[in-house]
Amino acid sequence: MTAAMLLRAICEFLRGLLAEYAAAKGDGGQFTAPRVFEWYLPFKNPKAPEKIDFPYVVARIVSGEDSQDPNVGSTVQVHLSFGVYDEGERVDGFLRPSGAYDLINLMEHVRIGLLRQLVIDNRFRIVKPYKWSIPEEQPYPLWVGEATTIWTVQSVTEQITGGVIHAFDWE
């Protein structure tokens, strides 16, 4: 349940961060604010014409870990996927891959926003390293990238119930 609350908090934070961000192109080449999705991009309806869901950010929980060190606590790894649509522009007869710049600007905006805030929803803290990458292979005219974030979350506290625990034998 804590991981689910973390994912919702991250998405809510990103929606606020990106609400007025319009440096990424969407359907029709218009600059538009990226949409934020949880887990995956929306499933396509095969009966409806395909619509491009760009620009976007998708947050997805990947894994979690409970450390044996009580000072570290529990962590959850969340992947962020980024996507923009840009057919590029012709310059001197060559197609310029301007979508790569839109992508990196979006990724940097999110990275800076998260690392400036550090704590979201007053209970989830992002920890370094913040890792990001842009795959060499790109599905032109779509441009995609990803980031890996690690968050500290509340740990489970051991509770002893039932029975009596005796530390010493007094007889």
CATH code assigned at 140: 3.30.2000.30
Domain membership flag for residue 166: no
User: Is-contact 39 58, C-beta < 8 A?
Assistant: yes
User: What is the arithmetic mean of pLDDT over 86-104?
Assistant: 79
Counting the structural domains of the chain, the total is 1
Domain membership flag for residue 81: yes
Residue with tokens 């991250």: 10
Other CB atoms closer than 10 Å to residue 107's CB: what's the count?
A: 20
User: What is the arithmetic mean of pLDDT over 59-72?
Assistant: 81
Does an H or E element contain 108, and which? helix 99-117
Structure tokens at 98: 């301007």
pLDDT at residue 1 tops 70: no
15 closest CA partner among 116, 123, 113: 113
Domain membership flag for residue 31: yes
What pLDDT does residue 150 have? 92
Kindly report, residue by residue over 40-60, the tens digit of the pLDDT: 777 676 676 666 567 889 999
How much is the mean pLDDT over the chain?
Answer: 82
> What is the rounded CA–CA span in Å between residue 49 and residue 134?
29
The boundaries of the domain holding residue 51 are 2-153
What pLDDT does residue 57 have? 92
Contacts of residue 132, defined as CB under 8 A and 6 or more positions apart, other chains included, come to 107, 111, 145, 146, 147, 148
Higher pLDDT, 14 or 23: 14
Domain membership flag for residue 163: no
What pLDDT does residue 61 have? 93
User: What is the arithmetic mean of pLDDT over 25-49?
Assistant: 73
Residue with tokens 């992508």: 103
What pLDDT does residue 55 have? 87
Write the DSSP symbol of residue 46: T
What pLDDT does residue 17 have? 93
> What is the rounded CA–CA span in Å between residue 133 and residue 54?
18
Domain membership flag for residue 91: yes
Domain membership flag for residue 147: yes
pLDDT category, 9, cuts 50, 70, 90?
very high
Domain membership flag for residue 171: no
Kindly report, residue by residue over 104-155, the tens digit of the pLDDT: 999 999 999 999 989 999 889 999 999 999 998 888 788 899 999 999 887 7
Domain membership flag for residue 16: yes
% helix / strand / coil in the chain, to the nearest 5?
Answer: 25, 35, 40
